[in-house]
Amino acid sequence: MPLTLITRGPKQGQCNICGDVGPLTEDHTPPKGCVRPTAMTLQHVSSRMSAGRAYAAKANDGVKYRTLCARCNTGLLGGRYDLALIDFVNQVAGLLASNLTLPSKMVIPAKPGRIVRAVWGHLAAVGVDRYPKGPDTEAFRDFFLDETLPVPSGVHVYYWVYPYRRQVLIRDAAITDMRGPAHATYWLMKFYPLAFAVWRSEGSFGQNFRDLAALSPPTPDAVMDVEVELGRLPPELWLEAPTDTQAIMYGRDSIVADRRPPRGVVLKV
């Protein structure tokens, strides 16, 4: 049976972030300041990787979910946190577009506390009626609403350069390494020029990427040096397609989005 992709929640319901019940608004994921909204084709990540014909949905104005209240969406995401994420993303995009020969590692001034909240907030918007998030539901809610709180214990927010146009949104994925007992759960967002993984592992199963959660801003407005590695890129399908020693299970709300060509135009792949 094909997996139905639902992005348009009810006009009234429970906010995916704070849990309040009331009018719901649409959230572009990723935010419009990072990615220009355009017509997209959406597929569940498992369908995209299957050999047979896969179900695809259409989005005419980028990927967006009607799942957030106005306070979380417009007041906090759009009004505060996205500004830091957009600035960080644009600085990385500028480095990738540069004609200069750059070092393999660059340092960018950014506000990591707000970037983490923006990344988590947009991933939390994914999926209709998805306020419950397991044992971390209230901890992440409080972290998002209160900028003075640290990232919930045991959570990493990995990031790496992603020089591809295909967008990925994966919520509630689990990965295990078949060579041992290591396993982890994660949320994943990829869009040009960066990828982010909100990661919690059992034991010491981590990823060899920079971790925004490891930075501890002294104040919510603190600007810190954030290192970006330009010379080490994982495969494009990293954390989407398992390696020979991995197994990955995907939740219901795990999609791949490709730009849809204008009518009568065929894109080369």
Question: What CA–CA distance (Å, rounded) separates 229 from 165?
Answer: 19
Instruction: Give the chain's radius of gyration (CA, Å).
Output: 18
pLDDT for position 261? 64
pLDDT for position 232? 82
pLDDT for position 54? 58
pLDDT for position 5? 73
pLDDT for position 53? 52
Domain ranges of the chain: 17-259
Residue 47: its H or E element: helix 45-48
Q: Quick one: tokens of 44? A: 């569940």
For every residue of 119-183, DSSP letters joined together read: HHHHHHHSSTT---BTBTHHHHHHHHH-TTSPPPTTEEEEEEE---S-EEEEEEEEEEETTSS-E
pLDDT for position 3? 58
Q: Average pLDDT for consecutive 10-residue bins of the chain (269 residues)? A: 70 97 95 88 81 68 94 96 97 92 93 97 96 93 96 95 95 90 92 96 85 93 95 92 92 88 45
pLDDT for position 109? 97
198-204: long-range contacts (C-beta < 8 A, 24 or more apart)?
A: 198/119, 198/120, 198/123, 198/155, 198/156, 198/157, 199/155, 199/156, 199/157, 199/158, 200/136, 200/154, 200/155, 200/156, 201/154, 201/156
Question: What CA–CA distance (Å, rounded) separates 52 from 49?
Answer: 9
pLDDT for position 179? 83
